[in-house]
Amino acid sequence: MIAQFIGGDQRYWDDALPELTLALNSSVSASTGYSSAFITQRREPRLPKSLFDAQTIDTGQEALSPMEKVTKIREVFEIMRRKLEKAGQDQARHYSLRRWQWKPAVGDKVWAKERNLSNAAKGFAAKLAPR
Q: What is the pLDDT of residues 69-102, one digit of tens each?
A: 788 888 888 888 898 899 999 988 888 887 778 8
Residue that wins the pLDDT comparison between 35 and 64: 35
For residue 105, the model assigns a pLDDT of 92
* Residue pair 39/80 in contact by the 8 Å Cβ criterion: yes
Rg (CA), the chain: 22
Neighbours of 38 (CB within 10 A): 20
Measured at the alpha carbon of residue 69, what is the angle toward residues 66 and 72, in degrees to the nearest 5? 155
Domain residue limits, the chain:
2-98
Residue 20 — very low, low, confident or very high, per pLDDT cuts 50/70/90? confident
Q: Which of 40, 35, 32, 38 is nearest to 24 (CA)?
A: 35
